[in-house]
Structure 1
Amino acid sequence: MTRREIRLPHLRRYEPRVLDARQVRRLLKGFYGHALEAWLLVSVCAGLRRCESVGIEWSDLDLKRGTVTVKRSVQWVAGHETVTDPKTDQSRRTVALPRFAVKRLAQLKHGRSGRLVGDLNANQVASHYMAWCRRMKLPCVPPRNLRHTFGTLAIAAGADISVVARQLGHSDIKTTARYYLRPDLSVLKSLQRAWERLIIGVA
């Protein structure tokens, strides 16, 4: 009887489609004044999961400190909304927002309460978001990929991977590395320039 080596098919690593920095700027400008602008700002600027961003309430924002606190996960399951605790202990977190987002959110708040998305459920948020992108011909990725966009751009900007992992609420830094540690050629060239300066300086 002959033994034959059996090789399982190699599954390609999932690499979500993301926006670049210029596209993010266009997207945010295109949603200026839109009912979902606050949701989009928090989603793309804080790297929240879709289920987290839909559940964010105005009271979760501390605009003096420039932070948003993730306290709940909201999903639409079998025609019903379910509200649960965040996915893990690391998912229950307070994260920072960029200054431009804090400034704009302060303008939008005006004493508002409740969720940033109002009475819309997760599917309705996604539908309205995608429809507006199509209508205005804006750069667009699915709502869940806004999180991937944040993680990818943060790493490309030189942020420490452990810090990005904390912002994203990952329990294991390996998850962050697996999905977001994909520096493009310009980042690699910057690395080599820094390395070259070190070597030449030593010499």
Structure 2
Amino acid sequence: MLFEEAVNLYWADKSKRLRGNTLEGYASAIRCHLMPAWADREVETITHDEVQAWVDELPSYGAAQKAFKTFRQIYRWIVRKEQMRIWDVTQGIELPQAPVARRQTLRAADEQRMLKGIVGQPWEAVVLLEAALGLRRCEACGVDWSDIDWRGGWVHIQRGAHWVGGSLIEYGTKTKLSDRWLKLPRWALARLRTIRGKRKAGRVRGNLSPHQIAGRFRRHCRRQGLPWVPMTCLRHSWATISLEAGVAIEDVSVALGHSTVDTCIRHYLQSFRAVVGRASDAYASAMLGVS
């Protein structure tokens, strides 16, 4: 069977089950990397060394990771589907070393200044929710006014808004742990009450799409000389500020909706002096307490 035929069978099957934004990511990898390399190859003739050489030639770590994972998904699926008695050539493939991620973050004082500088903007509520709760951009854009408990300040995060193929589509959260309740700081709850006015329901983003809000947020901050990071990095800022303030990393992980604490450690615990300082001080106190 040609690899191109395998792709077509895989796509027909997965289009019934996978989300549109997930399929869009697969389509990009298939179009840019898989089809040029493997379309006319018989699946049974592809070798481990050829796959490794292909991965080594991909232009970046991101491209290699995305392309190889998509290839592996399709390859293993067609082997199972057709019950092929061949060795899995995707086993043992080595991806390039991941670069050290240094995400942009805002310090607490800068974030406070930024939030004051966006007061009155049509998209203020989305940025405020993302900053104050550490939400993903899609999650902040998916919040409805009715999701907020206006007495207790709790917000039910249960959906995300995604721009897929030129249309705005909403999905439930990606995992069970991502469907969660988070509590707003009092100052954020008070500001959201003012923004909401008399509205009982409706998405806080109004008629704006996630990428429109991100663009307007960036342009406004630059015009006004405000501290700015991409909306995605407001989530990183929340995690950094919380960890440096002494919050346990397990608690930060739960609030962010991660499946495992390892995800939080890998992405957010990056040589924070305050975190390391607390550990060092605790050790020093313990040593002083030994008689």
The 5 A counterparts of 1:1-203 are 9-112=96-199, 113-203=201-291
User: Which stretch shows the higher mean deviation, 179-188 or 14-23?
Assistant: 179-188
Provide, for residues 86-129 of structure 1, a one-character-per-residue CA deviation record: whole Å limited to 9, x for no partner: 11111111111112111211222222231111100111111111
| CA distance, structure 2, for counterparts of residue 23 and residue 50 of structure 1 | 20
Report the TM-score, using the length of structure 1 for normalisation. 0.90
Report the TM-score, using the length of structure 2 for normalisation. 0.64
| CA distance, structure 2, for counterparts of residue 142 and residue 66 of structure 1 | 26
SS in 2 for 1:158: coil
| CA distance, structure 2, for counterparts of residue 71 and residue 145 of structure 1 | 21
CA contact (8 A) 1:155 1:183 kept: no
| CA distance, structure 2, for counterparts of residue 89 and residue 164 of structure 1 | 17
SS in 1 for 2:289: helix
CA contact (8 A) 2:158 2:172 kept: yes
Mark the CA change 1:170 to 1:186 in structure 2 (over 3 Å): closer, same or farther.
closer
Mark the CA change 1:92 to 1:9 in structure 2 (over 3 Å): closer, same or farther.
closer
Residue-pair matches, total = 198
Structure 1 residue 9, shift from structure 2 partner? 4.6
Q: Tell me which residue corresponds to 2:51.
A: none
Instruction: Report percent identity of matched pairs.
Output: 37
Unaligned runs of 5+ in 1: 1-6
| Greater relative CO (CA pairs within 8 A, separation 6+) | 1
Structure 1 residue 185, shift from structure 2 partner? 2.2
* Counterpart residue identity of residue 39, structure 1: V
SS in 2 for 1:103: helix
* Counterpart residue identity of residue 125, structure 1: I
User: Which stretch shows the higher mean deviation, 112-121 or 42-51?
Assistant: 112-121
User: Which stretch shows the higher mean deviation, 98-107 or 193-202?
Assistant: 193-202
Mark the CA change 1:188 to 1:41 in structure 2 (over 3 Å): closer, same or farther.
same
SS in 2 for 1:202: coil
| CA distance, structure 2, for counterparts of residue 102 and residue 187 of structure 1 | 29
Unaligned runs of 5+ in 2: 1-93
| CA distance, structure 2, for counterparts of residue 65 and residue 9 of structure 1 | 48
